[in-house]
Amino acid sequence: MTDLSRFAVNQITTRNWSLPEAIEGYARHGVAGIGVWIDYLDAVGTKAAARHIRDAGLFVPCLCTSAWVNLADRSAYETALAENRRRIDAAAAIGAPCLVVVPGGLAAGEKNLESARARVEDALATLLPYARQAGVALGLEPLHPMYAGDRSCLNTFAQCLDLCATLGEGTGLVADVYHCWWDPEFEAGLRRAGPERILSFHLCDWLVPTRDLYQDRGMVGDGVIDIARYRQILDDIAYDGPLEIEIFSKRDWWQRDCEETTRISIERCAPFVAPRQTGGPV
């Protein structure tokens, strides 16, 4: 029998399920964890969701995602900081040890990535004491460079790892193979990070051809990413944290029945999510 004790399904994978439906569906299929999205959480309320997740026996690897902070307008920036504090509180309430940070790309009319990245660093430094007090880590997720202009100016694993080193305690990495597999420094970055800095590891695949760069991720095994290789590296560095499937797929998986998507997610991820064997590689 497959041991799914480290395995979570990020609920965006089954986009058409509400949060209560996802909680019940994943638990019914034997999945151990659920990656929660703030919009779904807000729809049912934090207290009710926390109780439902707890009663279902699921763990929560992360809350997705932070509000964008890369805003040049000071009033909008302060509003974004307040919203992120609310999301930190929500993460703590549902037992999520990590808020995934997606800070935004360039501000309106901006063309200077360095300035954008400096603002993000300042915003995270401002939020960090609040997050530490709440017991929620800020999980920096490097996004593929195609997102640099509009979604996130944090784009390489090494860049995010350096920023974690600068910010210090209470920060870490959310590593997603979809965003990082192309990066020549990804493997070395995982080894440099070690298990302490990796908060969650996201699984999916890169399709060839990719028909939509935003919402055409592949099911594990359908693309060109060497997931077995990355699992081996995680074992080598003694990573024992969550392994979470996260798929955006408007042309395929979001059109399927969520029960089917959950079942196939388990089947495809099973070879990669077993507990680490302390005596050697899996």
**pLDDT per residue as tens, the chain (282 positions):** 689 999 999 999 999 999 999 999 999 999 999 999 999 999 999 999 999 999 999 999 999 999 999 898 999 999 999 999 999 999 999 999 999 999 999 998 999 999 999 999 999 999 999 999 999 999 999 999 999 999 999 999 999 999 999 999 999 999 999 999 999 999 999 999 999 999 999 999 999 999 998 899 999 999 999 999 999 999 999 999 999 999 999 999 999 999 999 999 999 999 999 999 875 444
CA R_g for the chain:
18
Packed helices 74-93 and 113-134: angle between N→C axes, nearest 10 degrees: 40
Whole-angstrom distance, CA of residue 68 vs CA of residue 151: 8
The pLDDT of residue 277: 81
The DSSP bridge partners found for residue 245 are: 9, 203
What are the residue boundaries of the structural domains of the chain, listed by start? 7-272
Class of the 7-272 domain? alpha beta
Burial of 39 (0-12, 13-18, 19+ CB in 10 A): exposed
Q: Which helix (H) or strand (E) holds 44?
A: helix 38-44
* Block residue for tokens 């099973």: 270
H or E element that contains 165? helix 157-167
* pTM greater than 0.85 (yes/no): yes
Contacts of the segment 47-54: beta carbons below 8 A, 24+ positions apart: 47/93, 49/19, 49/20, 49/23, 49/94, 50/93, 50/94, 50/95, 52/19, 52/20, 52/23, 53/23, 53/94, 53/95, 54/95
Burial of 85 (0-12, 13-18, 19+ CB in 10 A): middle
